[in-house]
Structure 1
Amino acid sequence: MSEVDWIAVDWGTTALRAWIVGGTGTALGPRRSDRGMAVLAPEDFEPALLDLVGEALPAGRTVPVLVCGTAGTREGWREVPYRTVPCAPPGGADAARVATRDPRIDVRILPGMSQSRPADVMRGEETQIAGVLAARPGYDGVICLPGTHTKWAEVSAGEVVSFRTFMTGELFALLSERSILRHTLSDGDWDAPAFTEAVDAAIAHPARFAADLFALRAGALLDDLPASAARARLSGLLIGLELGAARPYWLGQPVILGGEGAQADAYTTALGGQGVTVDRLDATQITLAGLAAARGQLRQEGS
């Protein structure tokens, strides 16, 4: 790899990822740590970063470090105020410099985005949106970013017009790990027909959601409902409930989905069942593309 040019960092609540970027633009990584924002005091962020990338830093030279995610929250390294929609995803000019002790790093944190009505916020996903727009210049439509807290964003003319957050991933974790349903589910095979049927049921009859949840437990007790089918149905009910509420975003709109793995596959299947053609982009690649776009803006400014 060529000499280190800059470092890209995605600092989330539970994890830290960093990429070493060379002068040719090649990114090595990610290097991963479980030292997310939630377990760090402000004074712990710099040591956590150096533990991860310190050995790659050259002596006698300062390396730019660009950070997205929850490191910019009130509880993070330094609070960086949100930008309010409608606006373009925050870029390098919006990043806030953080004071550091080590002269080898120049750290800047990108702000998140906020919305007043209905109240909503994001940190980290705005950088993925910037990455989508870098990959699909001129795109007007909807971006879906599945995760613990899934984001739906409408973008037009390079700006985020509005967005909504759904706690679907967190609800799935709570119900599958903490509720009575934990005795009913498994991590085994995936029952695709059960998933699709549950998506359709939740969209058609959202008021039955709580009753349909308990039916998973009763089905296991009375009808030997397989654990794989119960897990797929739980996922389908939750994603279907989300799709019903997010219908104004995806109905009749082009949709780009940023994600990979089983969760992104589930959203693609669920949307496909509603007649939506999904353009899939890799979540890691759009995160890096968004950080690279911000770095390019700073470079143009001579920073």
Structure 2
Amino acid sequence: MTTQAEWIAVDWGTSKLRVWAMSGGEVLATAHSDKGMSKLAKPEFETALLELVEDWLGAGQTDVIACGMVGARQGWVEAPYSEVPAPALAPQPIQVPDTDARLRVFVVPGLKQMKPADVMRGEETQVGGFLSLKHDWDGVLCLPGTHTKWVHVSANEAVSFRTFMTGEVFEMLSEQSVLRHSIKDGWDADAFAAGMDVTLSRPETLAAELFSIRASDLLLATPSAELRARLSGLLIGAELAASRAYWLGQQIAVIGDSALSDVYATALRAQGAQVDIADCEEMTLAGLTAARNLLG
């Protein structure tokens, strides 16, 4: 049976392209490719999109609502940042000019903060999706990933946010530093908690504690699962220490990949925080649906 989309939702990141055929807020079909923004020149974006969605198009025009790095300066069209405090979703998505006649393509702008300087693209759609489902929710959203975002929201606006490169630092240390010889697969919850406790209370010790991972491997033959979890705990502990002003005493929701969300939720609950978890794909689709509704 052929799928015909009422509209198409798109999450277009640096490395991946994901699309959903939509009818209202219902998903009819989904597809994906590895043609992320970093692999495409401007003239190639439309072709990459049509490869996935052409069979979903009807006789008329189909609206496409996209978020992510597709709106970066190097993307299909630059969607200028909205400055916080502001609604997570800009009042009007940016239309891509000169598209295939069967498409009307719009890109959701990201958010920027002037002091301290910070930006986001893609996560604002998850924030907007969360708020569209939970009106008047006040608190802090944690969006863990390669670059984890902490976003203070109030009165249905993003008030401020801060980005931590914890995920990227973990990847670099475990794959490119001397620790690559010691960090393999596996997980140890106790080792994670112990590492987090160290840097949450004494973040200034992080650099020394990192090398102790290698030394523990060489001298004590500590299992790789324990070392991997300790590295994660040390880095997230330092992040929680630096972001304490965001989460301490606040209502918190974590939006991300389920496994990583569980890690952050466990870390926060260990500090007595009240934490809920929301599915990142569900929030992305809710945000893209809300952005489509802004078109009128």
Query: How does the TM-score come out when normalised to structure 1?
Result: 0.95
Q: Secondary structure at the match of 1:137?
A: coil
User: Using the alignment, how far apart are the partners of 1:111 and 1:30 within structure 2?
Assistant: 23
Query: 2:281 maps to which residue?
Result: 284
User: Using the alignment, how far apart are the partners of 2:54 and 2:67 within structure 1?
Assistant: 19
Q: Secondary structure at the match of 2:35?
A: coil
Q: CA offsets per residue over residues 47-77 of structure 1, 9 Å max, x none?
A: 000011112212x211000011111111111
Query: 1:162 maps to which residue?
Result: 160
Query: 2:12 maps to which residue?
Result: 11
Query: 1:80 maps to which residue?
Result: 79
Shift of 1:261: 2.5
Q: CA offsets per residue over residues 135-165 of structure 1, 9 Å max, x none?
A: 2111011000001100000011011110000
Is contact 1:4–1:20 with CA below 8 Å preserved after alignment? yes
- Whichever residue aligns with residue 78 of structure 1, its letter is V
Query: 1:64 maps to which residue?
Result: 63
Is contact 2:79–2:108 with CA below 8 Å preserved after alignment? yes
Query: 1:105 maps to which residue?
Result: 103
1:132 maps to which of 109, 130, 133:
130
| Structure 2 portions without partners, runs of 5+ | none
Q: Secondary structure at the match of 1:30?
A: strand
Is contact 1:17–1:32 with CA below 8 Å preserved after alignment? yes
Is contact 2:129–2:283 with CA below 8 Å preserved after alignment? yes
After TM superposition, the structure 1 = structure 2 runs for residues 21-32 of structure 1, keeping only pairs within 5 Å, are: 21-23=22-24, 25-32=25-32
User: Using the alignment, how far apart are the partners of 2:230 and 2:30 within structure 1?
Assistant: 34
Query: 1:142 maps to which residue?
Result: 140
Shift of 1:99: 2.0
Q: Secondary structure at the match of 1:94?
A: coil
What RMSD in Å do the two structures reach over aligned CA positions? 1.3
User: Using the alignment, how far apart are the partners of 1:86 and 1:29 within structure 2?
Assistant: 35
Check if 1:258 corresponds to 2:255. Answer: yes
- Whichever residue aligns with residue 132 of structure 1, its letter is F
| Structure 1 portions without partners, runs of 5+ | none
User: Using the alignment, how far apart are the partners of 1:67 and 1:294 within structure 2?
Assistant: 9
1:205 maps to which of 199, 202, 207:
202
- Whichever residue aligns with residue 31 of structure 2, its letter is R
User: Using the alignment, how far apart are the partners of 1:294 and 1:47 within structure 2?
Assistant: 23
Is contact 2:3–2:29 with CA below 8 Å preserved after alignment? no
User: Using the alignment, how far apart are the partners of 1:289 and 1:110 within structure 2?
Assistant: 13
User: Using the alignment, how far apart are the partners of 1:182 and 1:262 within structure 2?
Assistant: 22
Shift of 1:3: 4.1
Q: CA offsets per residue over residues 106-153 of structure 1, 9 Å max, x none?
A: 101111000000000000111100011012111011000001100000
Runs of at least 4 residues of structure 1 off by over 6 A? none
Aligned length in residues: 295
Pair 29,179 (structure 1): closer, same or farther in 2 beyond 3 Å: farther
Shift of 1:30: 3.5
User: Using the alignment, how far apart are the partners of 1:103 and 1:279 within structure 2?
Assistant: 43
- Whichever residue aligns with residue 183 of structure 2, its letter is L
- Percent same amino acid among aligned pairs? 52
Q: Secondary structure at the match of 1:154?
A: strand
Query: 2:92 maps to which residue?
Result: 94
